[in-house]
Amino acid sequence: MDELSSFDHENRQEILLTPGPLTTSANVKKAMLIDHGTWDDDYKGVTQEIRGELLAIGKASPKAYTSVLMQGSGTFCVEATLGTAIPQNQASVLMIAINGAYGERMAQIADYYGITHIDLQFNEDQPVDPARVLDEIAKHPEVTHFAVVHCETTTGILNPIERIIPILNKMGIVTIVDAMSSFGGVPIDINRLGVDYLISSANKCIQGVPGFGFVIAKKSVIDKTQGNARSLSLDLYEQYRCFEDHDGKWRFTSPTHVVYAFQEAIEELKDEGGVEARTQRYKANEQLLRNKMILLDYEPVIDEQVQSPIITTFKYPSENFDFHQLYEFLKDRGFVIYPGKVSKIDSFRIGNIGEVYEADIERLVALVGKYDKSVIKSV
The pLDDT of residue 374: 73
Mean pLDDT check: name the lowest of 33-42, 70-79, 133-142, 157-166: 33-42
Provide the pLDDT confidence category of residue 11 given band limits of 50, 70 and 90: very low
Mean pLDDT check: name the lowest of 100-114, 166-180, 330-344: 330-344
Mean pLDDT check: name the lowest of 16-20, 159-163, 224-228, 367-371: 16-20
The pLDDT of residue 332: 95
- Alpha-carbon span 374 to 379, nearest angstrom: 9
Q: Tell me the Ramachandran region of residue 161: left when phi exceeds 0, alpha when psi lies from -120 to 50, beta otherwise.
A: alpha
For residue 27, pLDDT over 50 is answered with: yes
For residue 379, pLDDT over 50 is answered with: no
For residue 277, pLDDT over 60 is answered with: yes
- Alpha-carbon span 150 to 127, nearest angstrom: 10
Provide the pLDDT confidence category of residue 149 given band limits of 50, 70 and 90: very high
The pLDDT of residue 176: 98
The pLDDT of residue 7: 45
- Alpha-carbon span 24 to 11, nearest angstrom: 16
What's the one-letter identity of residue 55?
Answer: L
The pLDDT of residue 377: 56
Mean pLDDT check: name the lowest of 55-69, 93-107, 119-133, 360-374: 360-374
For residue 202, pLDDT over 90 is answered with: yes
The pLDDT of residue 89: 81
For residue 53, pLDDT over 80 is answered with: yes
- Kindly compute the dihedral angle of the four CA atoms of residues 43, 185, 81, 189, in this order, to the nearest 10 degrees: 100
For residue 328, pLDDT over 60 is answered with: yes
For residue 131, pLDDT over 60 is answered with: yes
The topology under which CATH files domain 26-270 is Aspartate Aminotransferase; domain 2 (3.40.640)
CATH of domain 15-24+274-378: 3.90.1150.10
For residue 3, pLDDT over 60 is answered with: no
What does the H/E/C string look like for the chain? Answer: CCCCCCCCCCCCCCEECCCCCCCCCHHHHHCCCCCCCCCCHHHHHHHHHHHHHHHHHCCCCCCCEEEEEEECCHHHHHHHHHHHHCCCCCCCCEEEEECCHHHHHHHHHHHHHCCCEEEEECCCCCCCCHHHHHHHHHHCCCCCEEEEECEECCCCEECCHHHCHHHHHHCCCEEEEECCCCECCECCCHHHHCCCEEEEECCCCCCCCCCEEEEEEEHHHHCCCCCCCCCCCCCHHHHHHHHHHCCCCCCCCCCHHHHHHHHHHHHHHHHHCHHHHHHHHHHHHHHHHHHHHHHCCCCECCCHHHECCCEEEEECCCCCCCHHHHHHHHHCCCEECEECCCCCCCEEEEECCCCCCHHHHHHHHHHHHHHHHHHHHHC
The pLDDT of residue 227: 96
Strand order in the sheet with 174-178: 65-71, 212-218, 197-201, 174-178, 145-149, 94-98, 117-121
The pLDDT of residue 8: 46
The pLDDT of residue 19: 85
Provide the pLDDT confidence category of residue 376 given band limits of 50, 70 and 90: low
Q: Where do the domains of the chain lie? A: 15-24+274-378, 26-270
Q: Which tens digits make up the pLDDT trace of 217-267?
A: 999 999 999 999 999 999 999 999 999 999 999 999 999 999 999 999 999
Report pTM. 0.94
Query: Are the CB atoms for 365 and 292 separated by under 8 Å?
Result: yes
If you average pLDDT over residues 83-91, what whole number do you get? 92
For residue 12, pLDDT over 90 is answered with: no
- Alpha-carbon span 175 to 97, nearest angstrom: 11
If you average pLDDT over residues 151-164, what whole number do you get? 96
As a whole-number percent, the residues of the chain with pLDDT over 90 amount to: 91
If you average pLDDT over residues 54-79, what whole number do you get? 98
Q: Chain-centre distance of CA 161, in angstroms?
A: 15
Q: Which tens digits make up the pLDDT trace of 294-315?
A: 999 999 999 999 999 999 999 9
